[in-house]
Amino acid sequence: MSTSLEWGLLAPEILLAGWAAFIILIDLFWGGLGKERLGWLAAIGAAAAGGLSLIWVGDTKQFGDLADINDYTTLFRVLFSGIGATICILSARYVRDRLLHPGEYYALILLAIIGANGMAAAHELLTAYISLELLSFSLYTLTSYAKFDLRSNEAGLKYMLLGAFSSAIFLYGIGLIYGTTGSTQFAVIGEVLSGDTSDIEWGMYLGLALMIGGLGFKVAAVPFHMYTPDAYEGAPIPITALISALAKAAGFAFFLKLFAVAFLPLIDDWRYFIAGLSVATMALGNLVAIQQRNMKRLLAYSSIGQVGYLLLGIAALSQDTASALVLHMIGYVVTNLAAFTCVILYYNWTGREEIEEYKGLAQRAPYLALCLTIALFSLAGMPLFAGFTTKFILFQAAADEDMLWLAGVAAFFSFVSLYYYLIVIREMYVGETEEKTRFPTPWLEYTALTVLIAGVFLIGLYPKPVLELVEDGTATIFVSEELDPGEDLIGVP
């Protein structure tokens, strides 16, 4: 059991924690800086943490027996920092006009990034659990941050209560896995499960089922999705974007690593269970989305459907499907942030979020309507855009692992999703409105939107550079880890 604690390996997380404290102090003692500038300052801190993470490209190190610092961790550190920086930029005008206490708001976003980083880096279950709770409690608070909005209060309460229940289930699963394998370390669990499990199979299977249930809630997989529509609708819109991007990406970063390192020896036992969750999630998310008339609820059910596609990668787990899963996750994050950027800008101008209220947007803000159309087509998986390329690679990788039937189901529901995205596009381009005033052009938000749309096209038309980075990262979690001679199986320093 390693006792080496090289604190420099956690420099990005230390920077984020210090920057969060700095933001609060700036807001407390220098409130004249302004709410907008505070958001920009928070974005700088998040971006700096992502840049600092690049120091460890190509390295494979460990922080004690708690966290791995390798290309997989670095990939997600950069992704999570990018998400956080984008949300801070998109929050600036929204917070200025609608929320109080901006210092704490931005600090919680930075703390959420720390939790997400910990989930991707975790080497053992308790580290992952603590990181998961840091992310979750930050999101609970941010969801209910608009304290004078009853919808926000209700959403935060539901999210917290159901989240606490799922955390208890997940922690109980950890206890059972520890009791049956004697360790909380992923590699040790994998080694134990590679041998004879006849004496521990029932306790181990129950622990695995409870952990899948807990993780299913965090990523909003059916039937653990019940909080998602209310949380999306009630939360401040930038926080809805944060939940849809950061929480999903962090959840699957941990999900993938846990199953690739710890539970891969039992893949024949859990593969079809995950496949069933994938089908149910795709079906409910896409079919119920058709009935939605609120933009945030539509994107909530859309995100549930996207989780079904990501679960396909877990069900067909291999090194190739892992790379395809992470590539699709990155494409989804970029596309979803582009869609939410458009929704946030429209809400900042109008205060409206019903789909029918998007009528005539193409006449009032043609560039905004065009970008939202591109994002929605990408989410549907149309050619030229990121969603098509990443889905094609993921479905092909799943078919190569004898899951062709599941890839076929996913392709069918991708086609179904096009219908409800076209409803929004029809309102923007065909719907008529009496309001003819053109919207202003906020340069910072439009710049962020342009970068995101460029990312949608880059991943869609030339995914090779991103795929190579992803393959370098996922390769590190499929390298077998050998135990040191005499190492015990406790796995908890």
Mean pLDDT in the chain? 89
Look-up: residue for tokens 């997400």?
A: 116
pLDDT in tens, 189-218: 988 888 776 777 788 889 999 999 988 888
- Average pLDDT over every residue of 33-45: 86
Residue whose token pair is 């550079």? 465
Is the pLDDT assigned to residue 490 strictly greater than 50? no
Output the pLDDT for position 90: 92
How large is the average pLDDT for residues 343-363? 89
pLDDT of 452 higher than 70: yes
Name which of 323, 313, 336 is nearest 456 in CA terms: 336
Residue 63: strand pairing partners:
67
In angstroms, the CA 382 to CA 374 distance is 9
Of 356, 378, 359, give the one whose Cα is nearest residue 369. Answer: 359
Residue 31: pLDDT band (50, 70, 90) is low
Q: Name which of 182, 185, 190 is nearest 264 in CA terms.
A: 190
pLDDT band at residue 4 using 50, 70 and 90 as cut-offs: low
Backbone angles phi, psi at 394, to 5 degrees: -65, -45
Write the pLDDT tens digit of every residue in 138-183: 999 999 998 888 888 888 898 998 888 889 999 999 999 999 888 8
Q: What is the mean pLDDT of residues 454-469?
A: 94
334 touches 275 (CB < 8 A)? no
Query: Residue 338 in contact with residue 379, Cβ under 8 Å?
Result: no
Q: What is the mean pLDDT of residues 434-460?
A: 87
Confidence of residue 483 (pLDDT cuts 50, 70, 90): very low
- Give the single-character DSSP code of 247: I
Mean predicted confidence (pLDDT) in 393-418: 92
Banded pLDDT at 32 (limits 50, 70, 90): low
What is the pLDDT at residue 423?
Answer: 93
